[in-house]
Amino acid sequence: MATSRPAPGVAGRALAYLESAKNLTGSACALGGLALTLTGFAGTYWPVVVAGLYGAGALVAPPTRPPAPEFPDPSSRLDALRADVTTLREYLDQVDLPPAATERLGSLTELLDGLLAPGWVSQALADDPEAVHVLARAVHRDLPEAVDAYVRTRWWTRLAPGQQDPEEQLERQLALLHGEAEELVAGLREAEEIHQRTHTRYLEDRGTT
């Protein structure tokens, strides 16, 4: 004959309640009720007194608070992004690019290195999730796709010249990405300028009080 088993988690919930602040506080109050009983203050109603004190203690105890989830620190994402930039640079070093594109690409990677350099600059970047997203998108998708599309299109163009120059398209794409990175830098700079002006106003207002 099959025997019924407690539902999964019942024992765990029971043990959690035994260790909870509500049970501990209620038990402490109930012990106080027993002490009153032993001294004769509770009389024949001691079970009611003990139960009532336990319930009162359980009610006033703070509720069980589950631990808040812990998420990775934003700076840890930048650590991974630095490693990805190194991988990207190793890939780019293997590609034969036209001089103009190479120069534009070098300027762009310098911007990336400056933004990701460990220190207060990268900390300012980490505090802006949208900026991190833009930077990660450029490293993970936009730059590799631009260069790879150039390599593939250039091969087909050598077999059968097309209407568009792949070198020109690559330079336009890199210029757009460079402009996007410059806008990101400008946004971070503006945030610092706002912070500086806010501190100035705070000092001015404090001086007038």
pTM of the model: 0.64
Percent pLDDT > 70 in the chain is 67
Confidence band, pLDDT 50/70/90 cuts, at residue 181:
very high
How is residue 54 written in tokens? 């336990």
* Residue 119 is assigned to a structural domain of this protein: yes
Do 39 and 109 lie in one domain? The reply is no
Confidence band, pLDDT 50/70/90 cuts, at residue 48:
low
* Residue 52 is assigned to a structural domain of this protein: yes
Q: What is the pLDDT of residue 12?
A: 57
Question: What are 138-173's pLDDT values in tens digits?
Answer: 999 999 999 999 999 988 887 777 677 889 999 999
Do 160 and 102 lie in one domain? The reply is yes
Question: What are 54-65's pLDDT values in tens digits?
Answer: 776 666 566 666
Domain housing 19: 13-60
Q: What is the pLDDT of residue 85?
A: 92
How is residue 129 written in tokens? 């999730």
Residue 149 CA to its chain's centroid (Å): 32
Q: Which of 80, 88, 93 is nearest to 177 (CA)?
A: 88
Burial class (CB in 10 A: 0-12, 13-18, 19+), 203: exposed
* Residue 42 is assigned to a structural domain of this protein: yes
